[in-house]
Amino acid sequence: MFNINNFNYLTKELSDIRGVGKKTLNILNKKKIFSVLDLLWRLPYSFDDRSKVNKIKDLHIGKLQTIKVKVLKYNFPRKRNLPNKVFCSDDSGNIECIFFNSYEGYIRKILPLNNITTISGKISYYKNTYQITNPSFVSTDDTLILKKHNKYNLSEGLSNKVYNKIIEEVLKNIPNLEEWHSNNILKNFNNISWRESVLKLHDPVNIGKSERDFYRRLAYDEVFSSMLISSEIRRKIKKIKKEKKIFNQKYEKQIINNVNFDLTNDQNKALIDINDDLKKKEKMFRLLQGDVGSGKTIVALMSAINVIESGYQVCFMAPTEILARQHYTLAKKIYPKDIKIYLLTGNTALKDKKIILNLLSENNDNIVFGTHALFQKKIKFKKLGYIVIDEQHKFGVKQRKKLSDKGGKNCDILLMSATPIPRTLIMSVYGDMDISLITEKPKNRLPIITYSKAEEKISDVIKFVQKQIKLNNQIFWVCPLIEESKKVDQTSAVEKYDFLKKIFPNDVQLLHGKLDDIKKENILNNFLKQKYKILVSTTVIEVGIDFPNANLVIIENANKFGLSQLHQLRGRVGRGNKQGTCILIFKSNLSENAKKRIKILKQTNDGFKISEEDLNLRGFGDVLGFKQSGFKNFRLADPIINRDLFILAEKEIKNIEQNNLSTAKYEYLLKLYDQADILNDII
C-alpha cells in the first residue's frame, strides 16, 4: 500500500513549508495556492538563464548576465536620493553595482570588501562604465546563482527569486508514490514515474515540451482520473436496485396517434433505450443528447407515460417557467384524458398550489411540470418513479450526482441536453451516465439558411426584417456579449432597442438579464402570442422554447461567440416547418478564424460536427459554455493535441468496467486531482 505520510506532503498547507512566511503565504493564498499540489500544477512560462559566468569585457548590454567579481570600493553618499555604489572588477574590466533603496549595512554584508562574489542582473552601460542596477542575485555561494531560474506568473509582492526557492524546497521533498498504472499503460510513456514527471515539469529546460513523456504521462493521469471518477459514479449508481416498472406501452401507442408525425429512427432508438432501462431492476441514469430541434421532448413524454402506466408518478423539470409551460401544454394536448397533468410555477396561485401538492402526495396517476426549483422545494410524492430534466448541460458531475439521489431508489432519471459535445470529451464530461444520441433531424425540417453581413450594411438587414414583418413572421435580434459584464451587455441591447424602435415603433420589445423573472416571462409570452414582432435580447433566452412563428434570428457582433454558441442561438428559429434564416452581423476586418467560423456555420446545421470544429478552432477554452458550470478544465491535457491519450484512457476505463476490476490502486491518483471527495459522499 501507499505510504500515506508520503502522500500527505502533497496536501500539506504551505505555512508548513520552509521559506514560506506569513506575507508570502497571504500572497500565495490570494492566487488560490493553498497546498503543495497547487504549487506543482502551476507551470513556469519561461526562465532566466544565469548559469554562465561572463567576463566583464564580453558583457551584453541590456541582457541578464552573471559575473564573478572582486569587491574593490564602496561609495555611500550622504545625500538622499543618490544611490549607493559598489565598485567591482574581474581580470577583464570594471563594473559598478548601483543600489537604490538599500542600506549601507546590508550592502556591506552581501558584498564584503575584497571578496569574490557572484552577481547576476541586467547590464547597462553609462559614461563608459558597465553598470548593474539593483542586481537580482548576489552571493558568495555561486551554486545558488549559476543555474536556470524559472519564471512564473506571480502577483505583486512575490518575486520569482522567492518563489523559485519555495518550488525548489518542495521539489526536494516530492514523495515517490507507488505506481498506479499498469506496465501496459506506462510503456506508452517510457515508464516514467509520477515523481520523475513532476520534477521534469518544473525543470526549466522542459518548458513548453508538452510532447515529451513526462508531460504526456501527467496529462494522461489527469484525463484518466476524470474519466475514472465518472465511471465510478456510474458503477455505484448501477448497483442501486429498484422496483422494475411494468407496462405494455398502452398509452405510448395512443400518443403517437395524437401527433402528426412519425418518430425518426434515432428517436425510436432512444425511446427503446429508455423503456428498457425503466423495465430493468437497476436505476436508470441516462442522458438524452440531441441537437436543438431534434425532438427530445416527445421521447421524454412518451417514456414518461409508460412510467405512469406502471403506477408511478413523473416529475418533469425545465430551466424556465415558460419552457415548463410549453411542455405542460404539449402533454395536455397529446396525453390521454385520464392522466392527471399539473403545472407548478412561481405564478401558480397559492390555493391551486395547495390542491396540486395534496394531489401529488395522495395519488400516483399524475405528472407534474415545473422548473428546476421543483426538487428544491419539499414536495411529497406518493410514488415518484421518474425525473426528467430538460436542458441540463450546465450541471457539473457533482450536481448531477446529487440529482441521481433525488427521488429515492425507485426513481429513474433522464437528463436532456441540446449541447452536442465533441467525441473526445464525451467520456470526461458525461462518463457518469448512459447516453442516447439523437443525431438525425425530423424529416420535414428545412435547414436554417445562414448569411453574414458586415455591420455597415445594416440597412440591408433592416430591409430584410421589413419584408419578414410584412409576411407576418417574427424576429429575434440577439445583442452581443461585448464583455463578460452584464452591464455592458445590457447597454448594447438597450441601444439597439432604441434604434429599432425608431424604425418599427410598435413592433419591438426588449429583454435582458436584469429584468426580474416575471417580467421576462411576460415579454416572452407576449412574443409567443405575437403581440409584437421583434424581440431584442441579450443571450438570456433559453434554447428549448418553441417560437413557431419566429423564423429570423439576427446575431450581432457574431465574432464574439463561439461556434457552438452561434449554432445554439440560431436554433431558436426553424423548429417548425417554416424556413429559418440566421444573419450573422460582423464588424469588418474579420480575422481568419472568424471567416472559418462563418464558413462552417453556412455549410452545416449538424451540431455534433460544429462542436468538433469548435474544439479545433478555439481550443478547449470554453467550447461548450461550460465555464459557469462545475466542469473543470484540464490543467495539462488538451483534447486536440492529446486526442490519443483520451482514447487510451477511454479504452482502459472500458476494460475496468467490463472486467469489473478493482480501482483501489487509483485512490491517490484521484486525490491528486481533488476528485476523491465526490466519490466519498456517494450514496
Closest to ligand ADP by CB, 52 vs 443, is 443
- 263 makes contact, choosing from ligand ADP, Mg ion, none, with CB < 5 to 8 Å by partner type, with ligand ADP
Distance between CA atoms of 214 and 43, rounded to whole angstroms? 13
Name the closest residue to ligand ADP (Cβ): 295
Angle at 330 between CA 578 and CA 555, to 5 degrees: 40
Instruction: Give yes or no for a contact between 550 and 558, defined as CB atoms under 8 angstroms apart.
Output: no
Helical residues (DSSP H) of 66-193, grouped into ranges:
104-110, 160-172, 183-186
Taking CB under 6 A as the criterion, the residue among 245, 283, 296, 609 binding ligand ADP is 296
Beta strands in 50-106 (DSSP E): 53-54, 64-75, 84-90, 93-99
Taking CB under 6 A as the criterion, the residue among 117, 150, 225, 267 binding ligand ADP is 267
- 393 makes contact, choosing from ligand ADP, Mg ion, none, with CB < 5 to 8 Å by partner type, with none
What's the grid cell of residue 27? 500572497
Distance between CA atoms of 12 and 25, rounded to whole angstroms? 13
CB of 569 to Mg ion, least distance (A): 15
Which amino acid, 20?
V
Q: Which residues pair with 413 in a beta bridge?
A: 285, 387
Instruction: Give yes or no for a contact between 225 and 672, defined as CB atoms under 8 angstroms apart.
Output: yes
Closest to ligand ADP by CB, 297 vs 320, is 297
User: Looking at 292-300, 349-357, 374-382, 665-673, which segment touches ligand ADP (CB under 6 A)?
Assistant: 292-300
Judged by CB under 5 A, does residue 290 bind Mg ion? no
Q: What are phi and psi of 663, to 5 degrees?
A: -115, 15
Taking CB under 6 A as the criterion, the residue among 44, 135, 544, 580 binding ligand ADP is 544
Closest to ligand ADP by CB, 218 vs 414, is 414
CB of 518 to Mg ion, least distance (A): 23
Q: Which residues, 524 to 583, sit near Mg ion by CB under 5 A?
A: 544
Judged by CB under 6 A, does residue 287 bind ligand ADP? no
Closest to Mg ion by CB, 273 vs 390, is 390
- 10 makes contact, choosing from ligand ADP, Mg ion, none, with CB < 5 to 8 Å by partner type, with none
- 149 makes contact, choosing from ligand ADP, Mg ion, none, with CB < 5 to 8 Å by partner type, with none
Q: Residue 436: which residues within 8 A CB-CB, separation 6 or more?
A: 269, 270, 273, 274, 286, 287, 288, 289
Residue 399 is inside which H or E element, if any? Answer: helix 397-405
Closest to Mg ion by CB, 24 vs 568, is 568
Taking CB under 6 A as the criterion, the residue among 110, 119, 270, 298 binding ligand ADP is 298
What's the grid cell of residue 57? 569585457
CB neighbourhood size of 177 (10 A): 18
Q: Residue 572: which residues within 8 A CB-CB, separation 6 or more?
A: 292, 476, 541, 543, 545, 547, 550, 553
Residue 274 is inside which H or E element, if any? Answer: helix 265-279
- 121 makes contact, choosing from ligand ADP, Mg ion, none, with CB < 5 to 8 Å by partner type, with none
Closest to Mg ion by CB, 407 vs 544, is 544
Judged by CB under 6 A, does residue 292 bind ligand ADP? yes
Q: Residues binding ligand ADP: what is the number (CB under 6 A)?
A: 19
User: Looking at 86-94, 259-267, 378-386, 635-643, which segment touches ligand ADP (CB under 6 A)?
Assistant: 259-267
CB of 262 to ligand ADP, least distance (A): 6
Judged by CB under 6 A, does residue 293 bind ligand ADP? yes
Judged by CB under 6 A, does residue 468 bind ligand ADP? no
Instruction: Give yes or no for a contact between 638 and 223, defined as CB atoms under 8 angstroms apart.
Output: no
Q: Which residues, 585 to 614, sit near Mg ion by CB under 5 A?
A: none
CB of 442 to Mg ion, least distance (A): 13
Distance between CA atoms of 60 and 122, rounded to whole angstroms? 9
Distance between CA atoms of 343 and 373, rounded to whole angstroms? 12
Radius of gyration of the chain (CA): 32
* Residues near ligand ADP (CB under 6 A): 261, 263-264, 267, 290, 292-298, 418, 442, 444, 544, 546, 575-576
* Residues near Mg ion (CB under 5 A): 544
